[in-house]
Chain A
Amino acid sequence: MVVRLSGTQPQGPKQLETLENKTVDGTQNTVRVNRGTTANRPIGPVIGDLYYNTELKDLEQYTEDGWMLVAKQVPRVPAIGSATLDGSNNASVSFTPSAYGQPASSYTVQSNPGSFTATGSSSPISISGSNLEVGTPYTFRVRSVGSYGQSAYSAYTSSVTPITMGSYESIQTVTVGAGGSSSINFTSIPLTYTHLQIRVISRGAQVATNFMRFNGDTNSNYSSHYMFGDGTYVNSGTLNSDKMYAFFSTTVGGFFGGAIIDILDYANTNKYKTIRSLSGGDENAAGYAEFLSGSWRNTNAITSITLVPGSGNIAEYSRFALYGIKGA
């Protein structure tokens, strides 16, 4: 069909006039359409209506996406789907390309906030999690890209929120209250992690004599070795007993020792259990920095941990935080 453009300039917005269809030369149709500026496009068009835009000097057709150039039509707006996050906080955005209009050569996904973009040739398209902030809700929209330009953006997806990956989780914390405490107990420890870590600040009545037991076992199934420096000399020792060395603490008021105790492969039922600890504290005239390791000669999974000072109580404000670490 040959489209011949003719007609008169409309005087302001008006209904689209009936198109004239005439047979010319016996084989061709003539279609006469309204013409005018962008501002004077017809009011209330229906899909399929034609209009010659005198500003753009090109033929437009009214589509589901509005007035679009016929000869240089950009692809239609895709229909947005959903956004999901994988285990690395990468966002996967799904959409459905329009079944109409010019074909798209690619699609661009954009985040809000951040305006991070990613381009692909089909749904879904992934945006790297390294761009997304943990704890921030994100929505995404998509548009199609064709030979003559890109469509408008779609609506946004529902929001998704990147989270800290579950490799290190807080399980339980004990803070010692007034009067101190004779022991610290973690019970009903879930077996869903690979390793446990206890992070400690503590003060007690005695240095370097804080012990640990597992699952309430008070038999002589523990061994441990330590090595420390006190600012003047270094020393090492061992203990084969009904408990293992676990960490150092300070004794002078105001000063608190620290410890990071790793309990490795605690849920395994084929191995004796192994711990390692980095601990120490300094009282501005005395103190220790210490490494130690220990074993519990038992293959049971560890479900409870008891920490006890060598004598006296663990002081007020001491804190013991138990964390779980997941392997890949």
Chain B
Amino acid sequence: MALTYEKIQTTTLSSAQASVTFSSIPATYTDLVLITNGKMVSSENALGVRLNGDTGSNYSSVAFYGTGASPGSSLRFNNGVEMYVARMGASTNCTSIIHLLDYSNTTTYKTALSRGSSSSIIMTTANTWRSTAAVNSVLVRGFSLFSDFASGCTFTLYGIKAA
């Protein structure tokens, strides 16, 4: 049976922390899936994702969200210094799923999809990192470092391998 969907690494915070980094990610999968669970220390926020330590303005994101009011809203970030992915609340633990597609190919820019929610918002985002480099590290933090992750947050990275 093919090894198709595997956990690569899990990090659980024992104290508040500004960011979490998965490094030395093997290039043996097709997609990566990062699942976050927890809450922020001070205030609800989106998450920021950087790849391979790139702090340049090479990211762009479009977000589509709803807060319970019709019809919902959308926003975008061009030439950002991190991806804008959903989402982590401050009062209750929230779960987000971030898909990094075809992360190890060296031909195309990298695409990420995310969805997540808190007690006040549901959100999905599409993101691009304008680099053809294979992704070997993923940093996740509060978007623009708006808030730290609270103790107890979990971050689990999975690899999915296509036949």
Give the interface of A toward B (CB within 8 A): 134-135, 163-164, 166-173, 199-201, 227-234, 236, 248, 254-260, 278-285, 287-291, 317, 319, 321, 323
B3 lies within 8 A of A281 (CB)? no
What are 18 sample pairs from A and B whose C-beta atoms fall under 8 A apart? A134-B6, A173-B30, A229-B75, A233-B74, A248-B126, A254-B108, A257-B126, A258-B101, A258-B126, A279-B113, A280-B124, A282-B128, A284-B60, A284-B78, A289-B62, A319-B102, A321-B30, A323-B4
- By the criterion CB–CB under 8 Å, are B107 and A317 in contact? yes
Least distance between A136 CB and chain B CB atoms (Å):
12
The answer to whether B71 has its CB under 8 Å from any CB of chain A is: yes
> Is B64's CB under 8 angstroms from A228's CB?
yes
> Given A288-B126, A289-B126, is A229 in contact with B62 using a C-beta cutoff of 8 Å?
yes
Is chain A's interface secondary structure helix, strand, loop, or mixed overall? strand
Instruction: Report if A199-B76 is in contact (Cβ < 8 Å); known contacts: A134-B3, A170-B4.
Output: no
Question: Are A258 and B64 CB-contacts (below 8 A) given A201-B102, A234-B72, A284-B78?
Answer: no
Contact between B6 and A278 (Cβ–Cβ < 8 Å)?
no
Whether A289 and B63, one on each chain, are in contact in the complex, defined by CB atoms closer than 8 angstroms, is: yes
Q: Tell me whether B111 and A257 are in contact (CB under 8 A).
A: yes
B-side binding surface: helix, strand, loop or mixed?
A: strand
By the criterion CB–CB under 8 Å, are B101 and A201 in contact? yes
* B125 in the interface (beta carbon within 8 A): yes
Set B31, B61, B71, B113: member contacting A278, Cβ < 8 A: B113
Q: Which residues of B contact A229 (CB under 8 A)?
A: 62-65, 72-75
**Cβ–Cβ contact A173 & B162, under 8 A:** yes
Residue contact A201 to B111, C-beta cutoff 8 Å:
yes
Give CA–CA (A256, B128) in the complex, Å: 8
- Chain A residues with Cβ under 8 A from B64's Cβ? 227-229, 234, 280, 288-291
Given contacts A199-B31, A199-B162, A248-B126, 14 further A-B contacts (CB under 8 A): A164-B6, A173-B163, A199-B101, A201-B108, A228-B64, A256-B111, A278-B113, A281-B128, A282-B62, A282-B127, A289-B124, A290-B64, A290-B124, A317-B107
Give B residues with C-beta under 8 Å from A: 1-6, 30-31, 60-65, 71-76, 78-79, 99, 101-102, 105, 107-109, 111-113, 115, 124-128, 130, 160-163
- Chain B residue, CB-CB nearest to A163: B1
Asked if residues B125 and A280 are in contact (CB atoms below 8 Å), the reply is yes
Bound Cα distance from A228 to B62, whole angstroms = 10
The answer to whether A230 touches B62 (Cβ under 8 A) is yes
List the B side residues contacting A163 at CB < 8 Å. Answer: 1, 3
Of B5, B113, B160, chain A has the most CB atoms within 10 Å of the CB of B113
Chain B residues positioned under 8 Å from A288 (CB to CB)? 62, 64, 126
A contact residues around B128 at 8 Å (CB): 255, 281-284, 287
Residues of B within 8 A of A279 (CB): 113, 126
Q: Which residue of B lies closest to A234 (CB)?
A: B72
A134 proximity list for chain B (CB < 8 A): 3, 6
User: For residue A321, which residues in chain B have a CB less than 8 angstroms away from its CB?
Assistant: 30-31, 162-163
Tell me the smallest distance from the CB of A238 to a CB of chain B, in Å: 15
User: Given A278-B113, A290-B64, is A231 in contact with B75 using a C-beta cutoff of 8 Å?
Assistant: yes
Contact residues in B for A200 (Cβ distance below 8 Å): 101
A285 to B61, CA, bound (A): 9
Least Cβ–Cβ distance between B109 and chain A, in angstroms? 5
Cβ B99 vs Cβ A255 within 8 A: no
CB distance A256 to B76 under 8 Å? no
A234 partner, pick from B3, B73, B102, beta carbons under 8 A: B73
Check B1–A256 contact: CB distance below 8 A.
no
Complex Cα gap A321–B31 (Å): 10
* Residue of A whose beta carbon sits closest to that of B74: A229
- Across the A-B interface, give the 7 residue pairs with the lowest CB-CB distance, nearest first: A280-B126, A229-B64, A229-B74, A231-B76, A170-B163, A321-B162, A284-B60
Neighbouring A residues of B75 by C-beta, 8 Å = 229, 231
Interchain nearest-CB distance for B60 vs A (Å): 4
By a CB distance below 8 angstroms, the chain B residues around A166 are: 1
Residues of A within 8 A of B1 (CB): 163-164, 166, 169
